[in-house]
A and B are shown apart, each in its own frame.
Chain A
Amino acid sequence: MFKTEEMEINLGPQHPSTHGVLRVKLHLDGETVVRCVPMIGYLHRGVEKICENKTFFQGQVWTDRTDYVASVSNNLGWAEGVEKLFGITVPRRAHYIRTMLTELNRITSHLLWLGTHALDIGAMTVFLYAFREREEILSIFEAFCGARLTTTAFRIGGLREDIPPGLEKQVRAFQARFLDCIEEYETLLTENRIWKKRTIGVALLNAEDAIALGVTGPVLRAAGSTYDIRKVFPYAAYAEMDFDVPTQTAGDTYARYLVRLEEMRQAHRIVNQCLDGLPEGPVMAKLPKVLKSEVNEVYHAIEAPKGELGYYFVGEKGGVNPYRMHIRAPSFINLQALPKMVEGRLLADVIAAIGTLDVVLGEVDR
C-alpha cells in the first residue's frame, strides 16, 4: 500500500547554518542520509588568477578576502611565502609581533567557530559570550593596522610599523581575563547534557580516513594525530615558543570541540610568551625597490586556525608578479570529509558536521 523512495533535497546555498553559500545535495531515505554531495563555487572570484596579474606586494590584499575570519593568518602565509621566494630575512622583533597577532587571530577564528557552531546545534548563550571576546581582539587589530577584518597586517620583509603605544597594555588586559572566559564557555557546554547528546559520536572521522582525505588542523588532531606545522616545520617565532599540541582520540564532534578549546589556551600561552620576550630592534628588513624574481618555485605552509594553509609561488625571470600562484586552502580540503562524516547518519547531524569542520566559504571557493 505504501512505498518508500529516496528523496533528493538541497541544503543551502542560502541556509543560515551552512556558514555562507555552501550547497549540499542530500539523498535522503527517511531521515537517513544516503548520499551527500557538497556543491561549491558560489563565491568563486578567481583569487589565484587575479594574484598572477598583481605584483607580490599588491597580492596580499586578496589573501584577506579568502579566509576572512582569519585574515592575519592568511597575510602571514603570503608574506612568508614571498620572503622564502626572494630569500629575505625578517628581523626577530617582526617575527615575534607576527606570531602574537597570528595567535590572537587563532583565538578569534575559534571563538567565531564556537559561537556559530553552538548556535547551529541549539546553544544560544555561548554565541553572545564568544563574540564579546572576539570584539576585544578585533579592537587590538584595529589599533595595530587600522582595520578589523580585512587587516593587510604584514608587509613583505616585516611589518609596516611597530606596535603602537598602548597596544601591549590592551593585549595584557585581554590576556588577564581570557582564561576565565574559556572557563565560562566550558561551564555552558562541556558538561551540558544536551550538548553532549548532540556531539558525542556525531560526524566520526578516524585518523586513517582523515589522512587519506588530506584533512588537517583540529579535525585531524581530534582523531589522534599530532601533526601540527608549528611543531613539524616551525615558521615565524614558533621554534622559540613553548606550547603543547592538544590531541584527542575519539574523532567526533565533541573531541574537536575539546581540541579547539585547548588550542585557544595554548594560543593564550604563546601570546604571553611573545609579549614577555619581545626583542628590541627594527621591524622591517632592507628590501630592493622592485622585487624581481628568478625562475624558481616555493611552497610555504603555515598552521592556520583551520589547518594547513599553503602558498605556492612560481617565479619567472625578471617577473614582478608570480607566474603561477596557488593556495592550498584548509577549508576546501577539509570539506571533502563531509560525505564520509554524514553518510548513513541522520539529517540533523549534517548541520553539526558542517559546523565542526569550520569551513569558511570565502576560502573554499577563493
Chain B
Amino acid sequence: MASPRYSLLRTLIPFDIYGGMKLTGKYFGKVLRQANRGPKRTHVVVEYPEVAVTLQPRFRGRLQMIKDEQGEIKCVCCLACEKICPTQVITIEKGKKEGRKTPFPLQYDFEMERCIFCEFCVESCGFDSIILNHQFELAGYDREDFSHGMEGQFQNMFSITPVGHYSVASED
C-alpha cells in the first residue's frame, strides 16, 4: 500500500487519468502516422466487398463435390457422410450408371439451411469426393436458395452457390 502522503498526492494530481490519456494519445499518434495521410501506410481495415478477404487454408465453407481427372464423380454412395452428419443435412439416392463399376449418386441433396460446417462429412469420406470450399457469402432470399442438388440444377454441388453472386464483390 502507498503511504498516506503519497495517496493524498495521488488524489490531488490525477496520475491515473494522465496514464490512460497517454496510452490513448499514443495510439492516436500511431494512427495519424500510419493511416492514409502518413508516409508509411499500413491498413488494418479490409475494404471487404471490394477487396477479397484472405482466408486460412483450412477454412470451412460450403460443402462441394469434386470430380476426378476424367470428369467422373468420385462419390461411390458409401453413405458415410450421411451417417456422420450431426444435423442430417445430406440425403443420397443410390443408383447405377452405364460403364461404371461402383455405385453412382443419382441424387445428392444438401440442405444448407441446417448445415453447421463442422467438416465431419469430409473427414468421414474415404474417397476424397467432397470438400468444404472457401465460399462464405451464403445468404439467400428463400428456403430454395439453400437446397443443393446434382448437376443440371440451378444450385448444385459442383459449382459455387449462385446466391454468392448477390454480393457486392461480384456485381461487375
Contacts and interface: CB of A to CB of B under 8 A. Distances in A.
A188 B17 CA distance: 8
Contact of B23 (A59, A61, A161, A184): A184
A150 B86 CA distance: 14
B116 A146 contact: no
B23 A187 contact: yes
A282 to B, nearest CB: 17
Contacts of A160: 123
A58 interface: yes
Given A147-B60, A191-B16, A192-B17, 20 more contacts: A54-B86, A58-B84, A61-B86, A62-B86, A125-B23, A125-B24, A142-B55, A142-B58, A142-B59, A143-B57, A143-B58, A146-B132, A152-B118, A152-B119, A152-B120, A160-B123, A164-B56, A164-B57, A188-B20, A192-B20
A150 B56 contact: no
Given A164-B57, A192-B16, A146 B23 contact: no
Contacts of B123: 160
Interface size class of A (residues with CB under 8 A): 20 to 34
A125 B15 CA distance: 17
B52 to A, nearest CB: 16
A152 B121 CA distance: 13
A62 B24 CA distance: 40
Most central of A58, A59, A146, A152 by chain B CB within 10 Å:
A146
Contacts of A188: 19-20, 23
A273 interface: no
A152 B25 CA distance: 40
17 contacts: A59-B86, A61-B86, A125-B23, A139-B56, A142-B58, A144-B58, A145-B58, A146-B60, A147-B60, A152-B118, A152-B120, A164-B58, A184-B23, A187-B23, A188-B20, A192-B16, A193-B14
Nearest to B11: A193
A150 B56 CA distance: 16
A146 B56 contact: yes
A143 B56 contact: yes
Interface in B32-73: 55-60
B117 interface: yes
A243 interface: no
Contacts of A145: 58
Contact of A191 (B19, B59, B84, B132): B19
B83 to A, nearest CB: 9
Given A144-B58, A146-B132, A191 B120 contact: no
Interface in B121-151: 123, 132
Contacts, number: 60
Given A54-B86, A57-B84, A146 B58 contact: yes
Given A150-B116, A160-B123, A187-B19, A58 B58 contact: no
A142 B59 CA distance: 7
Nearest to A196: B16
A236 B27 CA distance: 39
Looking at B15, B16, B23, B84, which has the most chain A CB atoms within 10 Å of its CB? B16
A57 B123 CA distance: 12
B85 to A, nearest CB: 8
A127 to B, nearest CB: 13
Interface string A134-172: 000001001111110010100000001100100000000
A57 B120 contact: yes
A314 B17 CA distance: 55
Interface in A115-130: 125
Contacts of A143: 56-58
Nearest to B19: A187
A164 B123 CA distance: 17
A193 B55 CA distance: 43
A125 B119 contact: no
